[in-house]
Amino acid sequence: METLKGKNVLIAGATGSIGSALAKLMTGSGANVYIAGRNTGKLKTVAATANVPSGRVYEFDITDAASVQRMADEINAQIPSIDILINTTGIGIIKPVEALSPGEFQLSLQTNLTGTFLLVKAFLPKMKEVKRGLIINIPGVLGKVPMAGAAAYSASKYGLVGMMQSIREEVKRTDIRITNLFLGGVDSSFWDTIDLRVQRDKMIRAEEAAKAIWFLCQQPVSGVVSEMVLQPFNHQAI
């Protein structure tokens, strides 16, 4: 296993359920953790519970190119490169197509797809300079299999998979690794605003999803986990 001690790890979306659980695991393993999110109050709480120094806490909006680049410039000025970039941002707008507004469709793409593009684009040049790095995204199983009501969400997540697979081709002469994590339902704040009858008590716990990412980050560098699927035992879609 690769040690996380001293690794520079950025968790974008660290105020979310999976991101905040992951921040704790990462600092507990001795990583130099940088956290980013759009909500200052929540960021402060995560920083305090995960023991992240204030100088490594960034307010950013993944849909705003200037804000993403500003964060990357500030982080990249301090270190040669981020070793592990983990994107746990994301929104889920789940509703039938006739109820889905063009604005909601656009926001899904802007956050889950264009936002990831902006984030990866901002950190990739430094990773290319040092010729190594690990980038983890969470397309979820809805980036691989369809579900009624998921037109906007799946469009963004299938797009994310295609984009990351293409970027993988671009960087294959370097030691930059790309992992797509296909999670099934995770009991998290993601579901708070989704009007769908789901059994949250049967879902994966956010801490367990975070542990899967933590595990991925410690894989030996002789190989790469290009995909991982983790689903609730009683609801296996793949």
Ligand X SMILES: NC(=O)c1ccc[n+]([C@@H]2O[C@H](COP(=O)([O-])OP(=O)(O)OC[C@H]3O[C@@H](n4cnc5c(N)ncnc54)[C@H](OP(=O)(O)O)[C@@H]3O)[C@@H](O)[C@H]2O)c1
Q: Which of 186, 212, 213, 216 binds ligand X (CB under 6 A)?
A: 186
Q: Which of 4, 7, 11, 16 binds ligand X (CB under 6 A)?
A: 16
Q: Which of 40, 45, 35 is nearest to 13 (CA)?
A: 35
Q: Which residues neighbour 235 within 8 Å (Cβ) at sequence distance 6 or greater?
A: 184, 185, 202, 203
- Our finding on whether 226 is near ligand X (CB under 6 A) is no
CB of 177 to ligand X, least distance (A): 19
114 contacts 62 by C-beta, under 8 angstroms: no
Q: What are phi and psi of 179, to 5 degrees?
A: -120, 130
164 contacts 110 by C-beta, under 8 angstroms: no
Q: Identify residues 60-89 at the interface with ligand X (CB under 6 A).
A: 61-63, 88-89
If binding means CB under 6 A, how many residues of this protein chain bind ligand X? Answer: 27
CB of 230 to ligand X, least distance (A): 9
Which one-letter amino acid corresponds to residue 22? L
213 contacts 11 by C-beta, under 8 angstroms: no
CB of 204 to ligand X, least distance (A): 8
Q: Using DSSP, state whether 230 is helix, strand or coil.
A: strand
CB of 175 to ligand X, least distance (A): 25
- Our finding on whether 114 is near ligand X (CB under 6 A) is no
- Our finding on whether 218 is near ligand X (CB under 6 A) is no
- Our finding on whether 232 is near ligand X (CB under 6 A) is no
CA distance 70 to 80: 16
- Our finding on whether 159 is near ligand X (CB under 6 A) is no
Which one-letter amino acid corresponds to residue 201? D
216 contacts 236 by C-beta, under 8 angstroms: no
Contact string 27-46 vs ligand X (x = CB under 6 A)? ----------xxx--x----
CB of 213 to ligand X, least distance (A): 10
Q: Which of 156, 167, 150, 146 is nearest to 112 (CA)?
A: 156
Q: Which of 8, 11, 15, 212 binds ligand X (CB under 6 A)?
A: 15
Residue showing tokens 């500003």: 70
Pick the stretch among 73-81, 123-131, 179-187, 218-226 that binds ligand X (CB under 6 A): 179-187
Residues that bind ligand X (CB under 6 A): 13, 15-19, 37-39, 42, 61-63, 88-92, 111, 138, 140, 183, 185-186, 188-190
